[in-house]
């Protein structure tokens, strides 16, 4: 079964690409092809000019960090979660850096001692973003990072992501249903339908989408967002 075909996109350094489309259109699969959690059967993916099959998948995944829809935290404190890493992996995981990184995602140092299981959904998602940042990634791959959150928390996470893109010059590829995130990220918009590119255009405001079908899709999502309980 073919999930994706004829998809060709480029994301610049510090650029943004948003993947939108109906469920089952292949957005998450495309995202996972980028860090090789899913193997593309044909075609090529290049990262920093190199074919990703020539890179060690573990290094690739540290440099192109994935943040999932439902934040996965492990049992233990926030500190332990931030320090989760393969044995012998390099990097600075000092207390000072953990605090600094938490600050980047809008959480204070007091969170380090908190039991990860007791955090709210929004806090968990920000901790997973901080965990990704500690690996000094070049790119963030976001799989519907705000869809499991209530609107105020979603807004905070969206604000965090767009700020990080500026401050860290991160390239961002995001799957989302939320026009709010599209608007904040800017960059390019890829509209996938049934695994094929239906539209690929610069992301303007919600109403500015050139493709009529994409415009209708985004407007529909906007209305769905407005209806969702706060």
Q: Does 42 bind other proteins (CB under 8 A)?
A: no
Q: Does 126 bind other proteins (CB under 8 A)?
A: no
Q: What is the dihedral of CA 20, 185, 33, 87, to 10 degrees?
A: -140
- Crossing angle for the helix pair 121-133 and 151-167, nearest 10 degrees? 10
Q: Does 146 bind other proteins (CB under 8 A)?
A: no
Q: State in angstroms the smallest separation of the CB of 50 from other proteins.
A: 15
Q: Does 45 bind other proteins (CB under 8 A)?
A: no
How far is the C-alpha of 57 from the C-alpha of 187, rounded, in Å? 27
Q: Describe the chain by its helix, strand, coil percentages, rounded to 5.
A: 45, 15, 40
Stretch that binds other proteins, among 127-135, 160-168, 195-203, 213-221 (CB under 8 A): 127-135
Q: Does 38 bind other proteins (CB under 8 A)?
A: yes
Taking a C-beta distance cutoff of 8 angstroms, is the pair 111, 105 a contact? no
How far is the C-alpha of 122 from the C-alpha of 153, rounded, in Å? 5
Among 131, 165, 177, 183, which residue sits at the site for other proteins (rule: CB under 8 A)? 131
Comparing CB distances to other proteins, the nearer of 36 and 79 is 36
Stretch that binds other proteins, among 19-27, 65-73, 193-201, 222-230 (CB under 8 A): 65-73
209 three-class SS: coil
Among 8, 49, 87, 226, which residue sits at the site for other proteins (rule: CB under 8 A)? 87
Q: What six digits make up the tokens of 165?
A: 């893109």
Q: Which residues fall within 8 angstroms of residue 42, CB to CB, at 6 or more apart? A: none
Comparing CB distances to other proteins, the nearer of 19 and 64 is 64
Q: Which residues bind other proteins (CB under 8 A)?
A: 35-39, 53, 57-59, 61-62, 65-66, 68, 70, 72, 74, 84-87, 89, 128, 131-132, 135
């Amino acid at each position: 079964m073919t999930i994706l075909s004829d998809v060709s996109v480029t994301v610049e350094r510090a650029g943004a690409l948003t993947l939108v489309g109906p469920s089952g259109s292949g957005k998450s699969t495309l995202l996972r092809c980028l860090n090789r959690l899913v193997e593309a059967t044909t075609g090529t993916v290049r990262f920093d000019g190199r074919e990703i099959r020539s890179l060690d998948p573990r290094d690739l995944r540290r440099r192109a960090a994935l943040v999932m829809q439902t934040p996965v935290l492990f049992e233990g404190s926030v500190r332990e979660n931030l320090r989760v890493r393969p044995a012998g992996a390099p990097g600075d995981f000092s207390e000072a850096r953990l605090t600094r990184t938490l600050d980047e995602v809008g959480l204070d140092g007091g969170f380090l001692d908190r039991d990860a299981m007791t955090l709210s959904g929004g806090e968990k998602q920000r901790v997973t973003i901080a965990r990704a940042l500690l690996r000094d990634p070049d790119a963030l791959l976001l799989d519907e990072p705000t869809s499991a959150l209530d609107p105020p928390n979603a807004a905070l996470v969206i604000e965090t992501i767009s700020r990080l893109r500026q401050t860290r010059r991160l390239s961002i590829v995001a799957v989302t249903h939320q026009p709010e995130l599209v608007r904040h990220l800017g960059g390019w918009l890829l509209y996938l339908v049934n695994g094929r590119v239906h539209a690929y255009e610069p992301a303007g405001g919600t109403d500015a989408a050139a493709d009529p079908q994409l415009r209708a899709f985004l407007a529909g999502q906007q209305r769905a967002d407005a209806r969702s309980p706060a």
